[in-house]
Amino acid sequence: MNETRHLISLDDLPDPALSDIVERGAELARRAAIGAGVESPSLVGKIVGVYFRKTSTRTRTAFSSGALRLGADIIGYGPHDLQLETGESTEDTGRVLSEMLDVLVARTSGNPAELRAWAEQPRMAVINAMSADEHPTQALADLTTLTLQFGSVRGLHLLYVGEGNNTAVALALGLARFRDVELHLRTPPGYGVPSAVLERATATAAGGTVIRERHDLDDLPRDVDVVYTTRWQTTGTSKPDPHWREVFAPFQVTAELMDASQKAVFMHDLPAHRGEEVTEEVLDGPASIAFGQAANKLHSAMAVLEWCTGVQ
């Protein structure tokens, strides 16, 4: 019998499991590039529920398409389809779904405690497709992209510019697990990565890995391997300060910023707002791998589904 595993946070993944998922995602991407597809449909007979309360293009499509490519059947739920909307408890909902589904992929954009409650049973794997505090499957897709681009995550230097949102949190937690990595976070004042996350990432950092955050753009590191940004208005969130755009404006990724690291590639978790967090020149320029990065969400999602159902 296959072992059921949950992915609510990257903290749920032991180092070997994280490496296995990333390598498997890269392997699936390489096979897709030569038209080989999967070796065999490993999820035949499995039922995957896909429940999104918030909008999604890449993550929802990646898990739906990935499940189908692996031979599973899927049931899709919209934001108002479950009896949670009429007052059924989180615990009762999870108990019922676990008797009918093998995997639940859920985007709540809320507190991960709800996902943890659904995971309190041994049969149905629960996958966090983004909560308010962390986007773990995005980080796994990013690590897969870095592996494909550079051959290894080890030793890479990255500059992240923008809000310390759930993507930045997951990126910090993921990169911390690889040796000799430098992650420089430059976030607007008042919009940084939570201090508890930075402490966690630093505490778990592999040998030689350094994670630093500043709230200005002075003395930017030069000759980094990657410049990464995200949308300023994170999906499902709003900012209480009506003048927040003025605070964010200096943190735009421009051609001038990219010129400081002429060999760097540009990454973005998408969707992008050209002219806000990044200029059109950069996003659509030769250094951008943002759309290949998005495509890797499919391969990474397939690797996550395999790992969570114990078939990898």
Q: Do 285 and 242 fall within a single domain? A: yes
Q: Is residue 302 part of a domain?
A: yes
Q: Do 96 and 25 fall within a single domain? A: yes
Length of the chain: 312
Q: Do 80 and 108 fall within a single domain? A: yes
| Integer CA distances (angstroms), 32 to 23, 39, 208, 235, 303, in order | 14, 11, 34, 29, 13
Structure tokens at 222: 């030069």
Give every strand in the sheet of 265-268, ordered side by side: 210-214, 182-186, 157-161, 226-229, 265-268
Q: Do 147 and 256 fall within a single domain? A: yes
Q: Is residue 1 part of a domain?
A: no
Structure tokens at 190: 């008042």
The crossing angle, in degrees rounded to 10, of helices 290-309 and 58-69 is 50
Structure tokens at 161: 């510019």
pLDDT value of residue 236:
65
pLDDT value of residue 110:
77
Q: Is residue 5 part of a domain?
A: no
- Ranges of residues in the chain with a pLDDT under 70 are 1, 109, 236, 312
Q: Is residue 4 part of a domain?
A: no
Evaluate whether 129 touches 74 at the Cβ level (below 8 Å). no
Q: What CATH number corresponds to the domain at position 142?
A: 3.40.50.1370
Q: Do 159 and 277 fall within a single domain? A: yes
Instruction: For 127-183, write each residue's pLDDT tens digit.
Output: 999 999 999 999 999 999 999 999 999 999 999 999 999 999 999 999 999 999 999
| Integer CA distances (angstroms), 265 to 226, 229, 289, in order | 5, 12, 7
pLDDT value of residue 238:
81
Q: Do 200 and 108 fall within a single domain? A: no
Q: Is residue 246 part of a domain?
A: yes
Q: Do 248 and 303 fall within a single domain? A: no
pLDDT value of residue 190:
94
Domain span holding position 302:
10-134+297-309
| 3-class secondary structure, 56 | coil
pLDDT value of residue 109:
67
**What is the distance between the alpha carbons of residues 229 and 164, in angstroms, rounded to a whole number?**
10
Q: Is residue 208 part of a domain?
A: yes
Q: Is residue 2 part of a domain?
A: no
Q: Do 79 and 169 fall within a single domain? A: no
Q: Is residue 269 part of a domain?
A: yes
Dump strand ranges (E) for 162-225.
182-186, 210-214
Q: What is the dihedral of CA 37, 41, 46, 49, to 10 degrees?
A: 0
Q: Do 118 and 264 fall within a single domain? A: no
Q: Do 303 and 230 fall within a single domain? A: no
Q: Do 58 and 112 fall within a single domain? A: yes
Q: Do 163 and 267 fall within a single domain? A: yes
- The tally of domains found in the chain comes to 2
